[in-house]
Amino acid sequence: MKGISETMPVVIRGTVTSFDIGKGYGYVAQGGGRELFADQTILHKHDPHVLALGALVVFEVIQGRQGPHASSVRAY
């Protein structure tokens, strides 16, 4: 039987700390200040408001090739 953490992703609140639309990536900070990489390909529905500096967002943390990063980033 799978545990709840294996079946239900944890949604975290944070803010956009930087995002370069031209490069297609940036960073979001968790409530505790830890910054996570965010690629535009993982944005929920490619919502342009999500990319604004300081925007409040919610996201899931997934394990990427180079460590944890934000996934399913969407406006809060």
pLDDT in tens, the chain (76 residues): 454 445 567 889 999 999 888 888 899 999 878 899 988 777 666 566 667 899 999 999 998 888 899 988 888 8
Q: Is 37 exposed, middle or buried (0-12, 13-18, 19+ CB in 10 A)?
A: middle
The Cα 63–Cα 8 span in angstroms is 15
CATH number at residue 18: 2.40.50.140
What range defines the domain where residue 61 resides?
A: 4-75
Give the list of residues 6+ apart from residue 75 with CB closer than 8 angstroms, or none. 47, 49, 50, 55, 56, 57, 58
pLDDT for the residue numbered 40: 77
Give the list of residues 6+ apart from residue 62 with CB closer than 8 angstroms, or none. 68, 69, 70, 71
Please give the tally of structural domains in the chain: 1
